[in-house]
Structure 1
Amino acid sequence: MSLSYVGTQLTIYVGSAILIAGVLGNGINIFIFSSVRTYRNTPSTFYFLVGSIHNLLYLAINLTFRIVSVGSGFDLTRTSLAWCRARSFFLSTISVISFTCSCLATIDQFLATSQSAHLRRYSKIELAYRIVLVTMVVWYLQGIPWILYQNISPISTTCVRTNAIYAIYVSVYLLLVLCVIPVVVMIGFGFLTYRNIRLTIALAELRADRQLAKMTLIQVVLVIISIIPYGINNAYGLITTGMTKDANRILIESFISTIVSLITYLYYMGSFYMFLISSSRFRHAYHTLCDNTTSNSSSLLCLVDDDYFCLCDINQIAQCFLYDKTLDQCKHCLAQGQCIKGDTDTPSDYVCRCPRCHFGSICQHNTKLFSFTMESLLSPDLLSSSFIKKSVSLSMYIIVPALLLIFGTISNIFSFVTFRRPKTRLNGAGHYFFTSTIFSQLSLFCLLSKIIHIIINLRGLFVQPMVNTILCKILSFLLSSSTRICYWLIVFVNIERLYVTIYPTKRWLKEPKTAKKIIIFVIMLTYGVHIHELIQYTIVPDPKYTVHGKWCVTQFSHSLQIYNQINTMIHYLSPCLVNLICTITLLIRPARIRANLDKKKSR
């Protein structure tokens, strides 16, 4: 097995994994940083937002076409001069804008954590808007030579640099602007930020947003891990330019460049996952809250954290005292909600202060991204104070799933009869469709049953707690797992079509035996990764809004909540991305074949 073959396989499979993870992570970053108002008003998170957008563009433009060109042998930069120049322009500008945003975020955290009020004034969102605008204009203007001096070589038919001075500029640019300068800036200001945090001890003097600073420092580590190997490889390329190399050395250097390139892609992919590890939430700095006191014409502001109760007076000074929050708390709330007592002599007199994206009398409903349940979607309508809205919603939530079940059953019966015939299952696709039909019907049945179960629980009609709990667990588990099994089965249908297109004479993936093994693996794996739902779903009462009503909800720990979100993201977005990649490849492959045939005919 040659290094060239290993490098090709790594590019296809590792590159595809990085592409999928990068699109998911950057997409979530963009959604979070753009939808939450608090994040939009913070300079560092604005830099993260702009950086995530450009990271997503970089992966979409560079990595996607690299995987396709390596996997199928069709390189558009060899045949299209416009794409040769456009790709060079976008890659040179998008990457440097992303690194610039990471550097700016690190510098902003140094300013925000500084004890100097003069330096803290420069950490403003208005200034961040202007800096980003100027930065983008400068780097896009810098990319113009990449359009002018890129051309397709008539000898090697590759996209090359046609100007010697420009070629030297590109080599220095890649080494300094994309490697040395970002690493030096981020390490330097990252150290200064860390020093500011260590020096900030007195809470009354300053309380910076340490979670956000931690995220920035983690970003520095990501840059060091992913970019330094790229810089070393570029420096080696500059030093050895003009040296005579044998074929074996060229092959080894090409393989090392492939590995280094894949490591570099970790920077464009990994920010979301590093943020997920380093910080669970963002908190406003106390000095920022106190600074806003005067501007809001308020003479006094109080705030509480895990250890202190603070008062911000008109002089913008935080006067803080130790605070034992257990004195007025209780333990009735879910999802780590804060339970606050009313009358200490009345056990039912309490109120739950729910964390972000949770609501309900005891914080039982969750609306976090990729974490919401059927109950959290239906409860606002079913508990509406408007009788008309409640009645209409109740009718629609029963009629629509019932109609879906009726028409879906008819369709699935025809599909079942069709793919039950042996002739339709000579290839693997027939088995995938046959199994998908069964799980589609199961999903529709569980959907209607789940809604009926919610309505019955809300009206307090269940009298057997054990039966109620079992239905809560089983219906929720089967609804989510069977639906996602259908997604993956359709994915393997498209993978088989792509396999037949690329390897028309081979039958391994088309064999019914292979399809049966894949189906068993998909079913067992999907059920296995959803087993936590079967364990964690439970019945809880709703004493504030209904007399006897109950809800079927989850009680995930923090780590299990993160696992559930990632698991849900993978099962929803990964099939979509795989189907998209297969579709694009299926469109490109026939076009390439026709182009080769036209060339042969022209000869």
Structure 2
Amino acid sequence: MSSNVTDLAKQISGIITTDIGLFILTTGLLGNILNIIVFLSLKTFRETSCAFYLTSASFANIIQLVATLFSRILITGYNIDLTQTSLFLCKLLINAGYSIYYSRFLFPILLGFLPLIIRIIFGLLAFVNVRRLKKHQTPIVRLEHDKQLTTMVLVEVTIDVLITLPYIIYNHIYSNSVTFYDPISNAQDQLIIAVTRIIFYGNFAIAFYIYFCVSSRFRKQLVYVFVEIHLKRWRERTHRNGTNQIVPQTPDILQKTDDVN
């Protein structure tokens, strides 16, 4: 009975990591790339420090998804372990000092609490900035633009907290302090870790979809960037290449040209 429960828990954990992980990886890469295109295509975003932070966060999200989630999908679903093919990664894996550093500082602090605290600080600064602009005679366009970015950042930070805390609390506070002796409890623990971990990875994939849902202005900007800027440029480039194309002359035309000359 215990072996059946253990096998089922492992199977569910694998499905969560592989199937849901692939979905999060695909949608996350697409969403972050769209964020970068929109933020870099519009002058109003390029001149704003808050938008610069969002652009940098999108690049960081892509790196995080590829470096952590993709490698975990390869190991769990396809038995491809990059640490077995890379000498550098293999040395890091078997290095005791690095293992302690990774488990006690790198993952819980640098990849857990610290990014969360930084996002909360940026969200509060964005909110304070909008409150400050309201007290001054700020142009309506600038004020509406800052309101848009503030709303996007605050909603993202709120969802970040809700997504990140369960994983950090369970994996680095509870799970590391409790020892599971029977196989069923250990399998249940691994299943909970798989669920909270995949939700945690979703934190790096949902930014674009948050902006799209909470900001009608962002939706209009997205359409404008792709239709009025990039699609129009592509059409102009295609038309220009078509008009500059040299039409080859047939032998009959060449003969008539020689007769005229």
Say whether the fold is shared (TM-score over 0.5): yes
CA contact (8 A) 2:175 2:189 kept: no
Q: 1:273 to 1:160 in 2, by over 3 A?
A: farther
1:377 and 2:235 correspond: yes
Q: 1:235 to 1:58 in 2, by over 3 A?
A: same
Distance 2:122 2:38 in 1: 26
What does 1:305-384 align with in structure 2 at a 5 Å threshold?
356=224, 366-367=227-228, 372=231, 377=235, 381=239
1:236 to 164, 170, 174: 174
Any stretches of 5+ residues in structure 2 without a counterpart? 1-6, 248-261
1:28 and 2:34 correspond: yes
Q: Give the length in aligned residue pairs.
A: 232
The residue type paired with residue 80 of structure 1 is S
What does 1:274-289 align with in structure 2 at a 5 Å threshold?
274-281=210-217
Please state whether the residue corresponding to 2:205 is helix, strand or coil: helix
What does 1:166-245 align with in structure 2 at a 5 Å threshold?
167=100, 170-187=103-120, 190-191=123-124, 193-194=126-127, 197=130, 204=137, 208=143, 209-233=146-170, 234-240=172-178, 243=179, 245=181
The residue type paired with residue 13 of structure 1 is D
The residue type paired with residue 50 of structure 2 is S
For 2:97, the equivalent position in structure 1 comes to: 163
Q: Deviations over 1:73-104 (max 9, x none)?
A: 2323245332345xxxxxxxxxxxxxxxxxxx
RMSD: 3.6
For 2:259, the equivalent position in structure 1 comes to: none
CA contact (8 A) 1:175 1:235 kept: no
How far the C-alpha of 1:50 sits from its partner, in A, is: 1.7
For 1:11, the equivalent position in structure 2 comes to: 17
Distance 2:134 2:40 in 1: 32
CA contact (8 A) 1:193 1:213 kept: yes
Distance 2:52 2:236 in 1: 34
CA contact (8 A) 1:77 1:83 kept: yes
Q: 1:275 to 1:175 in 2, by over 3 A?
A: same
Distance 1:195 1:171 in 2: 34
How far the C-alpha of 1:59 sits from its partner, in A, is: 1.4
Return the structure number with greater strand share.
1
TM-score (normalised: structure 1) = 0.34
How far the C-alpha of 1:28 sits from its partner, in A, is: 1.1
How far the C-alpha of 1:14 sits from its partner, in A, is: 0.4
Any stretches of 5+ residues in structure 1 without a counterpart? 86-149, 151-158, 283-334, 336-354, 359-365, 382-388, 400-603
CA contact (8 A) 1:40 1:46 kept: yes
Q: 1:21 to 1:189 in 2, by over 3 A?
A: closer
Return the structure number with greater helix share.
2
For 2:252, the equivalent position in structure 1 comes to: none
Q: Deviations over 1:528-572 (max 9, x none)?
A: xxxxxxxxxxxxxxxxxxxxxxxxxxxxxxxxxxxxxxxxxxxxx
Distance 2:63 2:121 in 1: 28
TM-score (normalised: structure 2) = 0.72
CA contact (8 A) 2:180 2:186 kept: no
For 1:72, the equivalent position in structure 2 comes to: 78
How far the C-alpha of 1:218 sits from its partner, in A, is: 1.8
Q: 1:80 to 1:199 in 2, by over 3 A?
A: closer
For 2:60, the equivalent position in structure 1 comes to: 54
Q: 1:51 to 1:192 in 2, by over 3 A?
A: closer
Q: Deviations over 1:203-260 (max 9, x none)?
A: 73676310011111122023112211121121113322xx352221211111111111
Distance 2:80 2:238 in 1: 52
CA contact (8 A) 1:215 1:279 kept: yes
User: Larger Cα Rg: Structure 1 or Structure 2?
Assistant: 1
Please state whether the residue corresponding to 1:268 is helix, strand or coil: coil
Please state whether the residue corresponding to 1:74 is helix, strand or coil: coil
Distance 1:395 1:277 in 2: 44
How far the C-alpha of 1:193 sits from its partner, in A, is: 4.5
The residue type paired with residue 152 of structure 2 is M
Distance 1:178 1:169 in 2: 10
CA contact (8 A) 1:190 1:217 kept: yes
CA contact (8 A) 2:123 2:157 kept: yes
